[in-house]
Amino acid sequence: MAVFALPPFPDLSIGPDMDLQLALIFLQQGIASGLVSGSVYALLALAIVVIFKTSDVPNFAQGEVFMAAGYVALYLFVFQKMPIWVVLPATLVVAFLAMALFRRFVLDQVAKSAKDLVYLVIATLGLSYVLKGLVRRTGFGDTPRSFPALVPTDSIMIGQASVTMLDLAIFGTAVTVMAAFFWMFNYTKTGRAMRAVGMNPKAAQLVGVDLRRCHMLIWGLSGVISAIAALLISPKILMTADMGSIVMLAFAAAIVGGFSSLPGAVVGGFVIGIVENMVGLFISSRAIVLAPFLAILIVLVLRPQGLFGGKLTIKKV
Partner 1 sequence: MSSPPLASSAPVRRALSGPALIGLVAAVVVTVALPVFTSGYVVYIANLLLVFVVLCLGLHIVIGETGQFSMAHAAFYGIGIYASALANRAVDLPYPVAMLFGALVAGAVGLVIGALALRMRDIYLALATFAFGEAMQWVFANWDSVTNGPNGLRISPARFGPIEILSDKQAYPFVLFFCLVMIGLTVAISRSRLGRSFRAVRESEVAAMAMGIDVRRARIVSFGLSAAIAGFAGGMFGLFQTFIHPDSLGFQTTILVLTMVVVGGLGSIAGAIGGAIVFGLISEVLRQAPQYQEIIYGAILILFMMYAPRGLFAFIGDRIREARHGR
Binding stretches for partner 1 (CB under 8 A): 52, 56, 58, 106, 109-110, 113-114, 116-123, 125-134, 136-137, 248, 251-252, 255, 259, 286, 289-290, 292-294, 296-297, 300-301, 304, 312, 315, 317
Alpha carbon of residue 96 to chain centroid: 15
Residue closer to partner 1 (CB basis): 238 or 297 = 297
For 155, other C-beta atoms within 10 Å of its C-beta total 12
Residue closer to partner 1 (CB basis): 79 or 293 = 293
- DSSP code, position 85: H
Residue closer to partner 1 (CB basis): 238 or 298 = 298
Backbone angles phi, psi at 241, to 5 degrees: -65, -15
Residue closer to partner 1 (CB basis): 171 or 251 = 251
Residue closer to partner 1 (CB basis): 38 or 58 = 58
Residue closer to partner 1 (CB basis): 56 or 150 = 56
Q: How far is the CB of 42 from partner 1 (least distance, A)?
A: 18
Q: Where are the alpha helices (DSSP H) in the chain?
A: 20-55, 62-74, 84-101, 108-113, 117-138, 165-187, 189-199, 201-206, 211-233, 247-256, 262-278, 291-302
Q: How far is the CB of 179 from partner 1 (least distance, A)?
A: 28
Q: How far is the CB of 158 from partner 1 (least distance, A)?
A: 33
Residue closer to partner 1 (CB basis): 171 or 259 = 259
| Coil/strand/helix, residue 76 | helix
- Alpha carbon distances (Å) from 23 to 135, 179, 276, 278, 282: 42, 33, 16, 10, 8
Q: Are 72 and 91 in contact (CB under 8 A)?
A: yes
Q: How far is the CB of 218 from partner 1 (least distance, A)?
A: 17
Residue closer to partner 1 (CB basis): 166 or 248 = 248
Q: How far is the CB of 45 from partner 1 (least distance, A)?
A: 13
Q: How far is the CB of 113 from partner 1 (least distance, A)?
A: 5
Residue 272 to residue 278: CA distance in whole angstroms: 10
Q: How far is the CB of 124 from partner 1 (least distance, A)?
A: 9
Q: How far is the CB of 67 from partner 1 (least distance, A)?
A: 13
Q: What is the largest CA-CA distance in the chain?
A: 66
Residue 272 to residue 292: CA distance in whole angstroms: 7
Residue 186 to residue 157: CA distance in whole angstroms: 36
Task: Of 117, 98, 96, 118, give the one whose Cα is nearest residue 106.
Answer: 98
Residue 6 to residue 281: CA distance in whole angstroms: 9
